[in-house]
Structure formats: structure tokens, C-alpha cells
Homo-oligomer: A and B are copies of this chain.
Amino acid sequence: MKKTYRVLIEAKDEQGLVYKISKIFSDMNLNIISNSEFVDRDKKLFFMRSEISGDEVEMKKLQKEIFSSLPEKSSVKIVDSSVRKKIVVLVTKEAHCLGDILIRSVDNELDADIVEVIGNYSHLEKLVEKFDIHFAEVSHVGNDRETHANIIKARLDKLEFDYIVLAKYMRILPPSFVANYKNRIINIHHSFLPAFIGANPYKQAHERGVKIIGATAHFVTDDLDEGPIIVQDVTKVDHSHNWKEMQKTGKDIEKIVLSKALKYVLEDRVFVYSNRTVIF
């Protein structure tokens, strides 16, 4: 039976890489469904994402063959497209981003299972349970940032998942927490980063009198709002919007941007390097 795989390669750029890799595909009788490449000329880095199909591949063999044909310090990852990914969603009080994910899940537009939703308030418990998904309240009240993050971590340790999605989770996660999930935490920031880092970006935006507001989905790193950007989008506003209206207007952008970023990540389209992303 034919199966589909995603081959993800990151390597020091050198002449002949495409040839070497496509030769292995050819020798193993694999068909290339789609193929994307990018070379960062300044940093001399090569990125490639191929969707291939073939008889049940000996994935380890393929991985090994490619790896041995590449320069040192390369990375090769082979993903079976048929294996469904798992996500945990962290929320606070706002429903729009979480809701968008839930509806996509019902509509078969989310290529992942939602393992659990964790909230630092119980506000969204009822909504989540409507969809037969477990909701865990982990209140931050009475806990310092580290302790609270540790409680969440303890909870996550019992779950099996690929990515953590911060769907308007309004607390800062400490570096000690983030370090456990490198390039595995996706956040939606409610501004067009790097404008308006930090708290209440819509208030900041209104104060500055901007004519466009936006949202940014990014991987979370130690530096607040400084992680690699995956997707951004914007919408126009005018003088008649006070900051609360900007906030309302921004919600539609936030949910679409987060869901798009999630889609790219779940389809293994995102490479991270030098605090930026390549999206194939």
C-alpha cells in the first residue's frame, strides 16, 4: 500500500545537495509529490521539505541514507503523514481562539487531536466540555510564576502531546518551563510584533494612533514576545476605534492567525533558525 511521508532536511549548503537527495528518492523508488527548497545565502544554510509517496518505507533506512549523504551537522527528519498529531491548549478567559480551534476540530479542519485544555481560570470549562474534551483548571492564584508553571508542567508530564498552543493564555511562562518544549509552544500575540511588546498592546496601539493593528503567532522562547514568527496578519482601523474597539476588531485576526500557524506546524511546514522561520 502506498503511503505518504514528509522529509525535512536542514543542512549546511553545498553544491549537489538536491542531486544527492533526489538520487536516494529515485533509488528507493519513491515518488516526489511536492518539493520545496530554500537556501539562506548569507548563512549558507539549505532547507528542504519533500512530500514523497511509496510503498511502506523503511523510514529509518531512508533517514540514514539521506543523513549520510549530507554535510556534518545536518538534520533529517521523516514524518509519516498519516500519524495524527496531539496538542494541549492553554487558555485564560477569552473564547475566540480556543473556539476557532474547537470548531475546526468538529469540522475536520484540524489535523490534530486536542488532548486537554488547561485554563488558569474556569471560565472556558463549560465550552470545552461541550466538545467532550477534558478541561483542567490550574489556578495561578496564590502561586508565584515558577510554582504555577511547575504545576502545569507536572500535569503535562502525564499527557502525550506534540505541541502546546497558547490560545490567549495571558500569563508569562518562565524560561525554566519554556526550556522543556523548544519550538513546541505556539503563542498568539495580540499585536503586530515587534510593535507593542508586553501588556495591553491595543491600548498601546491606540495611544500611538496607529492606522493598522495586527496579530502575530510565534514560537515561545525565553525572551518575551521575541520568539520566531510563524504568521502575521493585520487589519485597518481608524480614529473612531477606541482601544476596546481595536481589541474587538483584533480578535478576528488573532484567531485566524493562530489557526494558520497551527496548520503550518501540524503539516511540518515550519523550520526554525536564527530566531526566524522558513515556511514551506
Task: Note all chain B residues with C-beta closer than 8 A to A278.
Answer: 239
The answer to whether residues A109 and B131 also contact, given A196-B194, A232-B210 and a CB cut-off of 8 A, is no
B252–A233 CB distance below 8 A? no
Within 8 A of B (CB), among A20-35: 22-23, 25-26, 29, 31-35
List the one stretch of A1-9, A66-74, A93-101, A182-190 in contact with chain B.
A93-101
How many copies of this kind of chain does the complex include? 4
Give bound CA distance, A248 to B232, whole Å. Answer: 19
Within 8 A of B (CB), among A118-138: 127, 130-131
Contact pick for A99, options B26, B42, B103, B214, CB 8 Å? B103
B103–A107 CB distance below 8 A? no
A16 at the interface (CB under 8 A from B): yes
A210–B193 CB distance below 8 A? yes
Task: Note all chain B residues with C-beta closer than 8 A to A19.
Answer: 19, 22-23, 25-26
A275 at the interface (CB under 8 A from B): yes
Contact pick for A212, options B37, B131, B234, B251, CB 8 Å? B234
A229 at the interface (CB under 8 A from B): yes
Which residues of A are at the interface with B, using a C-beta cutoff of 8 A?
A: 15-16, 18-19, 22-23, 25-26, 29, 31-35, 37-39, 41-42, 94-96, 99-100, 102-104, 106-107, 109, 127, 130-131, 192-196, 208-212, 214, 228-234, 236, 238-240, 242, 248, 251-252, 256, 259-260, 274-279
Listed A/B pairs (17) with beta-carbon separation below 8 Å: A15-B29, A33-B39, A35-B37, A38-B240, A41-B242, A96-B103, A96-B104, A99-B103, A99-B106, A102-B103, A130-B130, A193-B208, A193-B210, A208-B229, A209-B276, A211-B230, A239-B276
